[in-house]
Structure 1
Amino acid sequence: MIETERLLIEKLSVEDAAFILDLLNTPSWIEFIGDRGVRTITDAQHYILDGPLKNYEQVGFGPYLVKLNTNGLPIGICGLFKRDILDDVDIGFAFLPDYMGRGYGYESASAVMAYARSVLGLTRIIGLTTSSNHSSIRLLEKLGLRYEKKIILRIDGEESLLFGT
């Protein structure tokens, strides 16, 4: 779908369940995004069917699989999310620990934002993160998004920071 210097970015499929199972159970995913209760391959398949695949069908976008273009190894996800409670589409990303801090987040998010503007016609993209997720804050700012306000998204009442273009 999208190719960058080092990455291939494509739609997720149920065949990616083993990777999704690993990603959703990393400490950083659980801390910053939340425990989705995905504990088995079957859970991961349902997560993909009920989330990404449903989003592709309903809104035309969603989270995308990020793979190394040299060997096709999946290293993370980066994509676009339309939440019912927000007017704008937000960009989100998560990577396996071994691939964090290597510029893959910026490379994939820049490409997804360009795709969102040129192909999907989006004019405003936001980013959401917690105040304790300093890596995500730096990445959102590097992408050109600026802090706008605090909002409550999670059931536990934790505040999220909203960054916008």
Structure 2
Amino acid sequence: MRVVETERLILHKLTVEDSEFILALLNDPLWLRFIGDKGVRTLDDARDYILKNLVAMYERLGFGLYLTELKGSGVSIGICGLIKRDSLEDVDLGFAFLQEFRGKGYAYESASAVMEYGRSSFGLSRIVAIASPDNFDSAKLLEKLGFRFEKMVKLADDCESVSLFASNV
């Protein structure tokens, strides 16, 4: 189901049919470095991840991370969407793209559209985003989107601190 459309992209809810893509994305070296190892190693793991994390959030909140595809070709290039983590007060913006689609403006294009979708469909007046302190590309993108660094936070007691950015929309 199409959720957001931009000039070059279509974003829609993920389903178990997207398991191959999720398996590839969650094992991308930059995903593992900056987001973390989710333990997804097989197609069955990917299906479980989609159902227990992504589909469950759609059902619970009405939003989540969306598959981002190139308009016309339908090639899956990444994910972008809104997440509600138990450890954060606000809804946060999340995004990740396969290596060959980075640096082409797709993350900015999809994130801008997702933020507008969050404002118009869910009445969000504040959206946050987190990034590893050494993820300079994500920090640069967040600043371009209008986010400002707010503070360092820990998402869990046993986790490293991450940079929290905020956008009052």
On whether the aligned pair clears a TM of 0.5, the verdict is yes
User: C-alpha root-mean-square deviation of aligned residues, in Å?
Assistant: 0.9
- For 2:160, the equivalent position in structure 1 comes to 158
Size of the aligned set, in residue pairs, is 165
| Alignment-derived partner of residue 52 in structure 1 | 54
Q: Which residue of 1 aligns with 2:84?
A: 82
Aligned pairs for 1:114-153 within 5 A: 114-153=116-155
- Tell me the CA shift for residue 59 of structure 1: 1.0
1:85-107 superposed Cα distances (whole Å, 9 cap, x missing partner): 21100000000000001100000
Within 1, Cα distance between the matches of 2:75 and 2:159? 36
Aligned-pair identity in percent equals: 56
Instruction: Name which of 100, 103, 112 aligns with 1:101.
Output: 103
Unaligned runs of 5+ in 2: none
Change in 2 beyond 3 A, CA 1:154/1:136: farther
Question: Which moves more between the two structures, 4-13 or 148-157?
Answer: 148-157
Specify the code of the residue in structure 2 equivalent to 1:46: D
Q: What secondary structure is seen at the aligned counterpart in 1 of 2:18? A: helix
Which of the residues 16, 24, 40 maps onto 2:26? 24
| Structure 1 spans left out of the alignment, 5+ residues | none
Runs of 4 or more, structure 1, over 6 Å off, are: none
| Cα-to-partner distance string for 1:13-70 (whole Å, 9 max, x where unaligned) | 1100000000000000000000001000000000000001000000111100000002
Q: CA deviation at 1:158?
A: 1.0
